[in-house]
Structure 1
């Protein structure tokens, strides 16, 4: 993944990116004689009144539903798997439209308004869709302290970050019979996750998350809020990629947690300071003093802790000068 991104979500940028992604996906699928399986987050279908024609076409196709948490959710919340034959003109229309929608729905204002991500990605699957759907459905439900937790790995806003948290064994365990999974991240970039086809039947679908892994997964929602603000502020500038933002803010968020800053907006501000000033801004001796002082206060707040730091002092931190008092 590129470390810097200049995609600005404009119409021209979207059109160009759509064509590039179309050509790359076609090369990946057609040249390998692979069927393309489109994955849809069906829970959003009723909300997409502006895409009813596309949804109507999909509903006429043979749909395999992924039974995520069937003991808790009804079928309307099950993701769809739809096999496309990219040598068919009709299926190519669906394929191309899905790319357009995937790029359209990441526009920052739509994300902020809760528009959601309908297009989960394009998959290459070894074997039948039914077997893959059962595997994906069972894997989506993980146990945490004797409670069932729905792991929304199929949400493209989750999967890119989740993938960076999982180790090699967990990644292969998650994918099962999926050999390739492509999706578009929030920066309009095509991402790829590859797996080795499992040749054995799984007796359990646990990904064996440690408490530390669960803490990282808990932070995905916060990181997405940070990404939303960061992209909005740098929409016309070269910026860090989604993966690089995650790599930058994750250590800072863990330190924020140790300072007992658990308010959502405090954590978002903490991450943005790591991006805007320094990944280790909170390691400056004076910042440490301010944070430790605030940490001992009732109703602790990161915003209150740094309220006395001036723009000039922040500039000093950005320049990497930690030898001078603030």
Structure 2
């Protein structure tokens, strides 16, 4: 999530950025369906087809990471993986840096993928199977991938970033301990190309679309991609299944997902041994991002912002519950 001050709707900014691309002028009315989290996303149309404008302040992003994201997406598309597609600006750029009255921003545009978000389906066995198959294919292609430009950041870079966020926060002792525990654990694991590579990191229902016509899945939002163990993606998926699937059929659905995954890629026999560490990593990263996001505050904040702060504080408390404790899995 970006800092809270960037979460406010700003259609003037969106329109200013969009003018770097071709668009149907009347489709700006779709801006009302915006959403903002790690990026601002504003829908519009060009030649009647829905596109998505994505932007964020330059201070919130690492340019090399964004360009590495686009390179990986293009590689996946070229190899038959259903993923979103970037749209070049009028100047022929995938990523545009624009000086605006609100500061410097990075902006890009994507074509909307076909299909329906998984959380809007009935999550039947076929859909869950295809969901697993899509992740297995992504991991298989990732295991064969060598970037041409600067590589995407890794779990180690993320831990470095977290330490940097904690530098001037003396009360975050347990959080620092958590960083040290996880760094020590992951640094000792072998980084075999068959088990470790560029992962999606946010392979949850809202980022995967099921296309009934093709019978496959289309994947969006690689903004959180990083080099990590492939099991990290599985951990995020299983957490998502826990949230949406009734407990009495959870094991059946999880096996259905794994069966689909294995049609494209093999799971290591000992994959479950690193699940606890991956869960801890997700909690730590989420905590640190939220900590940075809510650092600023203002008098007379709108009610929606105060409610958001309360929800984020509750989630942070849950994420930090086990910080600094032994993993007990070495």
TM-score by length of 1: 0.24
Structure index of larger Rg: 1
TM-score by length of 2: 0.24
